[in-house]
Chain A
Amino acid sequence: MIKALFEYQFLQNAFLSSILASVVCGIIGVIIVEKKLVMMSGGIAHTSYGGVGLGYLLGFEPIIGAFLFSICAALGIGCIKRKSSTHTDVIIGLFWSLGMALGILFIALMPGYPPDLSSYLFGSILSVTKADLYLMISLTFIVVLVIIVLFNDWKAYLFDEEFASIIGIKTAFLEYLLLVLIAMTVVVLIRVVGIILVLALLTAPAASAGMLTSNLKKRMLYAVIFGNIFCLAGLWISYKINIASGASIVILSIICYFLLYTLRFIFKLRPYSHRQD
């Protein structure tokens, strides 16, 4: 595969997008797992399917449609959550299915043969185009920059939102910003593992890293490394035995997570085991 990597442009694109995907899913994944926003992220990801459908219907790049829809979903869910007392999971459920339904509707309204949507639903890392790659690079750059620049504020916000707001940190802004970052992350991940499988890449590396360290920065770093291993190894497996790349990445991540979990269970490798008393 190494030789092929130098020969084929599509493999180079796949390789680069794997790395980009693992960077965002490592950083945002840790936040999502700690802040218990996994289902929120699932909702945002599935809503973006409506955007893919709209892109096909109106003839623009479907990934741009996915980007717009997921940003709107993030802001919409955040706004309703803040303004009303409705349970968040109810709103997430509504957005989740509305997005999927709109996608199906838009595709049905399209004249002619319906396109093959499986590359958006289940990912198709080998068909990442130059344009996709540019979008992924800029989104990854924004996500990483925003997290690093405001790292100490994020830490205070994630640990105790209430206290952060009392000492005057703009928590409402941070909340919306986080949702937008999740939306951007979802878009980066769609080409790699697809809308339906996004949740695995957001949780498996972060949860695996969580078993190894209880330091926030290190946890993000380990999650990025795990993500890289999962994506590249999954890509290699899919290339070797010719199966869908999204599926092989996801199955590999989840097997690794459970393997780590079992090992930890057997050896009692708990990150907090050095307590003295």
Chain B
Amino acid sequence: MRDAYAKNLNAVHIDNLSVYYGQTPAITGVCLDVHDGEYLGIIGPNGGGKSTLLKAILGLVPISAGTVQIYGNNTNKKTALVGYVPQFVILNRKFPISLVDVVLTGRLKQGLSPFFTFTQKDKEKAFEILEKVGLLSLANRQIAELSGGEFQKMLIARALAVNPRLLLLDEPTASVDAVSREQIYSLLSELNKNKTIILVTHDLLAVSSQVHSLACLNGNLIYHGEPELTENIVNNLYGCPVDLIAHGVPHRVLRDHEEEKTVD
């Protein structure tokens, strides 16, 4: 069944997309197809348009030129196909709401629903997701009491409550500790079994070990393909050599190349 979808239906189809903020171009001429079931990482420097691309896919910013389609639909038509995990720095972490209530907002109906109450089924679904992301014991905590990692996992749980086929994440591992980071990545690869995932990240190490394909964005699309970074791409992307080899990490991001001396 997956094959039938993959053959004629891309999860995301972006054709010649440009987004301008006033006179300033954020992204220009981006063409990108994401297959159903793909796990795509998007990297690029700050201001390279990564978040703008996500927002264009979500229909949150006006598109200046080109088209974006999600499973064949235009983005202005709201469908429950997309789950979104924003950068958590933009949210009010003191807001008076409990963890399970945040997850339940993902179960709200489209439009406005007067006198809406969550059904037993909604609640069961929310608790099922909380168990999956490992937050079940914290369900009734106020969000102000959560750690950064717990807060981030809560946002993933909320996105999953929509029951999406496509999951978009904007830097989910920024400012969380190493343990939470590992948990988030293993959760994502678990979710990738039946969902398409697009992950925007600064985490270059994650990119080569986790994602199945890679897009590099700096105003326009510099590279799209296998998650194997060459020095050429990275230099093009960041404009300067970037330290891609972290100490104590068992694999390297860069392939070996000639001028490199063996270092330990």
Contacts and interface: CB of A to CB of B under 8 A. Distances in A.
B61 to A, nearest CB: 11
A196 to B, nearest CB: 29
A166 B97 CA distance: 20
A28 to B, nearest CB: 15
A149 B158 CA distance: 23
A247 B94 CA distance: 32
A275 B145 contact: yes
A164 B80 CA distance: 12
Contacts of A271: 142, 144
Contacts of A153: 108, 112-113, 116
Interface in A150-171: 150-153, 155-156, 158-160, 162-170
Nearest to B111: A170
Given A150-B114, A160-B91, A213-B96, A167 B142 contact: no
B58 interface: yes
Contact of A173 (B60, B110, B112): B112
A277 to B, nearest CB: 9
A156 B162 CA distance: 13
Given A150-B114, A166-B58, A214-B144, A34 B96 contact: yes
Contact of B114 (A149, A163, A168): A149
A151 B115 CA distance: 8
A210 interface: yes
Contacts of B111: 168-170
Interface residues of B, number: 37
B108 A152 contact: yes
Question: Main SS of the interface on chain A?
Answer: helix
Given A163-B158, A168-B78, A34 B95 contact: yes
Interface of B is mostly: loop
Interface residues of A, number: 33
Contacts of B106: 167
Interface string B71-101: 0000000101010101000111011111001
B96 A160 contact: no
Interface string A204-235: 00000010011110010000000000000000
10 contacts: A34-B92, A150-B112, A152-B113, A159-B97, A163-B86, A214-B94, A214-B96, A215-B96, A215-B142, A272-B142
Interface of B: 22, 58-60, 78, 80, 82, 84, 86, 90-92, 94-98, 101-102, 105-106, 108-118, 142, 144-145, 158, 162
The 8 A-B pairs with the shortest beta carbon distances in the complex, nearest first, are A168-B110, A168-B78, A156-B105, A214-B142, A214-B96, A216-B96, A149-B114, A152-B116
